């Protein structure tokens, strides 16, 4: 637990003074009761432990209310798991020709599309998703939206192409999440914007944050992991880490690989787990391995439930203030019921 205003905790030292004041008032009432027993006879404490508890209970409740109120002034914060509000998930789907390998039934590409559809259909209503398709380059196939029908239609339209630009996919996803950061894919890939290309918006001053600290955005990268062109995935993962965005990588295929026909020439395309593990590790995300279509579907379902909840520091002042008001009301009500007056 942490405190926004920790210096105000010294106010809790007033509680012992309140206890001493209460004891002084009780002794004074007892002295007056002995002096004028006919007038203040009701001030005599009841006998026995239960009687003493009934006598002191209103004061104890009031003391607890005062303690909660003073503690709330320091604005305590604690990590609590809460549902994420308006979370944005970018799905980066590999559509390279290597995804035709049949080491996953019926093939990697079909299994990946089926799993993506399952993930979209299971999305909570307050989560938006965008889709980035990447092969030799990466394109934003669908801007973030909560309309499942648009997302499903986009997944169905995906077609395979040559090349695998894994780093490009991460940059495009980040540029979608942070449009005012001036992330320029052309400049990163070619060392400067191409002639005639539209200039990106000016980048806002940016301060790097702790990896994985972004409260409402994540990227899910599904690929066989073998990059052949484009931006270095490690450099792109570093951009995500600096912005606190977790990248969850899902490896599809087998380490042994599957046969793919490239214009009459067959090649074995193996899953590059090390690259996917490195990307996930740099961004405080997770790597999941999926060897079959069913495994892949389970991975996406697990990510769906994982992304809905997040651990965040939440201020507890409002809860403590409410508890203080409840205790004070209980103290006043009990005193009114027993004595016919409030204290």
pLDDT tens string 317-331: 878 888 888 888 887
DSSP summary character for residue 252: E
pLDDT by residue (tens digit) across 13-39? 877 887 777 677 767 766 766 676 655
Query: 141 and 15 share a domain?
Result: no
Domain boundaries, position 166: 82-193+204-313
Q: What is the DSSP letter of 245?
A: -
Lowest mean pLDDT among 51-60, 67-76, 112-121, 248-257: 51-60
Same domain, 227 and 245: yes
Whether residue 12 sits in one domain with residue 68: yes
Rg (CA), the chain: 32
Asked if residue 333 and residue 283 are part of one domain, the reply reads no
The strand pairing partners of 247, in sequence order, are: 219
Give 23's contacts (C-beta < 8 A, 6+ positions apart): none
Residue scoring higher pLDDT (131 or 15) = 131
Residues 129 and 258 occupy one common structural domain: yes
**236-251: burial string, b at 16+ Cβ within 10 Å, e else:** bbbbbbbbbbbbbbbb
Assessment of whether the complete model's pTM goes beyond 0.85 = no
Task: Examine the domain organization and report whether 69 and 95 are in the same domain.
Answer: no
Q: What is the pLDDT of residue 93?
A: 95
185/55 same-domain check: no
Residue 9, both tokens: 């905790």
Q: Given a cut of 60, is residue 267 above it in pLDDT?
A: yes
Answer yes or no: do 72 and 104 share one domain. no
Going by pLDDT thresholds of 50, 70 and 90, the confidence category of residue 339 is low
Q: Are residues 75 and 209 in the same domain?
A: no
Q: pLDDT by residue (tens digit) across 72-84?
A: 888 888 777 666 5
Q: 10 and 143 share a domain?
A: no
Assess contact for 110 and 118: CB atoms under 8 A: no
Where residue 112 sits, what CATH number does that domain have? 3.40.50.410
């Amino acid at each position: 637990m942490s405190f926004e205003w920790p210096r105000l905790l010294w106010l809790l030292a007033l509680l012992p003074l309140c206890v001493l004041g209460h004891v002084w008032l009780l002794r004074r009432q007892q002295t007056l009761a002995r002096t004028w027993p006919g007038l203040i006879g009701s001030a005599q404490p009841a006998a026995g432990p239960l009687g003493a508890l009934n006598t002191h209970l209103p004061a104890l409740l009031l003391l607890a209310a005062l303690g909660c109120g003073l503690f709330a002034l320091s604005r305590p914060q604690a990590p609590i798991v809460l549902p994420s509000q308006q979370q944005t998930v970018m799905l980066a789907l590999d559509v390279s020709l290597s995804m035709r390998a049949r080491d996953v039934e019926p093939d990697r590409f079909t299994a990946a599309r089926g799993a993506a559809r399952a993930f979209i259909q299971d999305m909570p209503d307050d989560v938006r998703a965008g889709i980035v398709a990447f092969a030799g380059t990466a394109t934003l196939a669908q801007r973030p939206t909560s309309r499942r029908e648009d997302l499903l239609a986009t997944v169905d339209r995906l077609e395979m192409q040559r090349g695998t630009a894994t780093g490009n996919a991460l940059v495009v996803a980040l540029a979608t999440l942070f449009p005012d950061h001036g992330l320029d894919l052309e400049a990163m890939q070619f060392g400067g914007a191409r002639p005639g290309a539209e200039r990106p918006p000016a980048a806002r001053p940016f301060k790097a944050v702790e990896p994985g600290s972004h409260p409402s955005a994540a990227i899910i990268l599904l690929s066989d992991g073998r990059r052949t062109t484009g931006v270095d995935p490690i450099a792109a993962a570093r951009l995500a880490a600096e912005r606190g965005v977790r990248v969850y990588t899902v490896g599809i295929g087998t380490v042994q690989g599957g046969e793919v026909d490239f214009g009459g020439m067959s090649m074995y395309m193996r899953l590059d787990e090390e690259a996917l593990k490195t990307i996930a590790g740099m961004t405080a995300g997770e790597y999941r391995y999926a060897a079959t279509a069913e495994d892949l579907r389970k991975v996406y379902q697990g990510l769906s439930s994982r992304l809905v909840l997040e651990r965040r520091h939440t201020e507890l002042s409002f809860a403590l203030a409410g508890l203080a008001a409840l205790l004070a009301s209980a103290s006043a009500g009990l005193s009114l019921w027993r004595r016919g007056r409030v204290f």
